[in-house]
Amino acid sequence: MTTRVYRKDYPRPQLVREHWLNLNGEWDFCFDDENVGELQKRPEQSKETRKITVPFTYETSRSGTGEEMFHPRVWYSTSVSIPEDAEGKQVILHFQAVDYSARVWINGVMAGSHQGGYAAFFFDITPYLVFGA
């Protein structure tokens, strides 16, 4: 599991919160050119899992994937430990942008979807979290 740290340099000062977690860093990643990911519960069962550095797109050198070809579908996956003191509070997952369509899964359940390239969006993921596990 990747270690995440609380950061002081909040990216959106107008929405500053005392507690927030930056999810940038190393994630698991795989291509899904055949569009079978949801049926196969990727990336949990993928044999093609790679590492990617978020927030960079896989085509960029800073992503670490070494891949520049177009792929119509990709999967990102990571594990995050939510602090115990967050139990009973609302937990929001913010995205600054996704190109172009995103489906967000939390603990095996689709928490939401979004379409629209480069637009910020968020989901309340509180109902999908498991505290104390």
Question: Each residue of 11-62: pLDDT tens digit?
Answer: 666 766 777 788 888 999 989 888 888 887 665 555 668 999 998 899 999 9
pLDDT the model gives residue 105: 92
Dist CA 69 CA 63 (whole Å): 13
Whole-number Å distance between alpha carbons of 6 and 17: 11
CA distances from 55 to 95, 126, 131 (A): 10, 23, 26
Residue with tokens 């989901």: 123
Instruction: Check: CB of residue 76 under 8 Å from CB of residue 54.
Output: yes
Q: Which tokens in the block code for residue 16?
A: 């500053």
Q: Does the pLDDT of residue 88 top 70, yes or no?
A: yes
| Residue-level pLDDT at 46 | 58
Whether residue 99 contacts residue 117, with contact meaning beta carbons closer than 8 Å, is answered with yes
Considering the entire predicted model, what is its pTM? 0.79
